[in-house]
A and B are shown apart, each in its own frame.
Chain A
Amino acid sequence: MATGSQSKVIFQNPYKYDVLNPEVSRVLQSGGTVEITGGLSNKTFNTIYKMSEAELQAVGYTLVSRGQASNATQGLTTTGEVIKSTIMEIILKKN
Chain B
Amino acid sequence: MKHIIDLTKNNFDRIDFTEAKIIDFYCKKDLPTEFEFSVWGATLLLDPHWKHDKSFIPEHNFKDLYVSGIGIVRIDNLFGGNIEVYIYENVKDEQNRITVAKNHDGSELVFRRQWGNTDECKSVDEYLWECVIMWPYGFCNLKFYSNGNVDFKFNTEDLIFADDYLKDPYRYTFKEK
Contact = CB atoms under 8 A, between A and B. Distances in A.
Given A85-B130, A85-B141, A80 B165 contact: no
B88 A81 contact: yes
B166 interface: yes
B72 interface: no
Contacts of B129: 41
Interface string A51-91: 00000000000000000000000001111111111100000
A24 to B, nearest CB: 18
Given A41-B17, A41-B18, A43-B13, A78 B165 contact: yes
Contact of A79 (B16, B45, B170): B170
Interface of B: 13, 16-19, 45, 47, 86, 88, 92, 96-100, 108, 128-132, 139, 141, 165-166, 169-170, 173
A77 B88 contact: no
Contacts of B99: 82
A41 B131 contact: yes
B139 A84 contact: yes
B124 to A, nearest CB: 16
A52 to B, nearest CB: 14
A47 B10 CA distance: 10
A83 B13 CA distance: 20
Nearest to A47: B13
A80 B173 CA distance: 12
- Interface size bracket, A side: 10 to 19
Contacts of A39: 18, 130
Interface string A37-49: 0011111001100
A45 B50 CA distance: 18
Interface string A10-43: 0000001000000000000000000000011111
Nearest to B89: A82
B81 to A, nearest CB: 15
B19 A77 contact: yes
A78 B166 CA distance: 7
B132 A77 contact: yes
Contact of A80 (B18, B98, B100): B98
A82 B19 contact: no
Contacts of A76: 97
Contact of B97 (A16, A43, A46, A82): A82
Given A78-B165, A81-B139, A41 B98 contact: no
